[in-house]
Chains A and B, each alone.
Chain A
């Protein structure tokens, strides 16, 4: 099994908020990332959070980190149809260089 886990699917209505959750297991993680992948495309970095932070906000995106529970979430405010994609969380562990450990991805479907 993967060390980083995500739910498979999330469906929301346009204009609602979306919350995508992720759990990880390695307490030595230094940075945690959220990537977006559209069909047939590579990975686009959305945002990241350093492990000594609890929250980071960037326009419509809010990242929450609970280190005690090893839980990471991404909230997308005012979700649009263009936000439909697969979202991956990933962790970078201490002394792992550029090796990121990815979750399996959450497919977000936004209905008009």
Chain B
């Protein structure tokens, strides 16, 4: 148990829809990172939030956006869903530059 919880655990959407995924950080952690893990691949870094500001982004288009709240929980939003967005989305909480603690992930299927 890492203390990082994600919701929902599974969801199905259709192309063009929008999705919001949620993450509750481990107590005391001020940084949240989001990763996308396509089937059979390693996780790919999407972005990181520190004290409610995005402070690092991977190679993902602007339709991937996020928020971090004052309690350090976070949301990942994806607009205009595409089939290739089907993946396991992993949230990790940490202190800045600290060890990452991953949640169990949200599995998104886009039809």
Task: Assess the A88–B97 pair: CB atoms within 8 A.
Answer: no
The interface centre, meaning the residue of A43, A44, A99, A100 with most chain B CB atoms within 10 A of its CB, is: A43
The answer, among B33, B40, B90, B99, for a CB contact under 8 Å with A99, is: B33
Give the chain A neighbours of B4 by CB distance below 8 A.
42
The answer, among A44, A97, A105, for a CB contact under 8 Å with B42, is: A105
Give the chain B neighbours of A97 by CB distance below 8 A.
48, 50, 55-56, 96-97
Given the interface pairs A98-B31, A99-B45, A105-B42, the reply to whether A42 lies near B97 with Cβ below 8 Å is no
Q: A45 to B94, alpha carbons, bound, how many Å?
A: 13
Task: Assess the B97–A43 pair: CB atoms within 8 A.
Answer: no
Task: Assess the A42–B33 pair: CB atoms within 8 A.
Answer: no
Given the interface pairs A98-B48, A102-B44, A103-B42, the reply to whether A42 lies near B102 with Cβ below 8 Å is yes
Determine the residue in chain B with the shortest Cβ distance to A4: B42
For residue A51, give the distance in angstroms from its CB to the closest CB of chain B.
14
Give the chain B neighbours of A98 by CB distance below 8 A.
31, 33, 48, 56, 92, 94, 96-98, 100
B103 in contact (CB, < 8 A): yes
For residue A90, give the distance in angstroms from its CB to the closest CB of chain B.
8
Q: A99 to B55, alpha carbons, bound, how many Å?
A: 10
Given contacts A42-B4, A98-B98, A104-B40, 4 further A-B contacts (CB under 8 A): A42-B104, A98-B92, A98-B94, A104-B41
Smallest CB-CB A-B distances: 10 pairs: A102-B42, A43-B102, A42-B102, A42-B104, A97-B56, A99-B45, A98-B33, A104-B42, A102-B43, A42-B105
Task: Please give the residue numbers on chain A whose beta carbons come within 8 Å of chain B beta carbons, in ascending order.
Answer: 2, 4, 35, 41-45, 48, 88, 90, 96-105
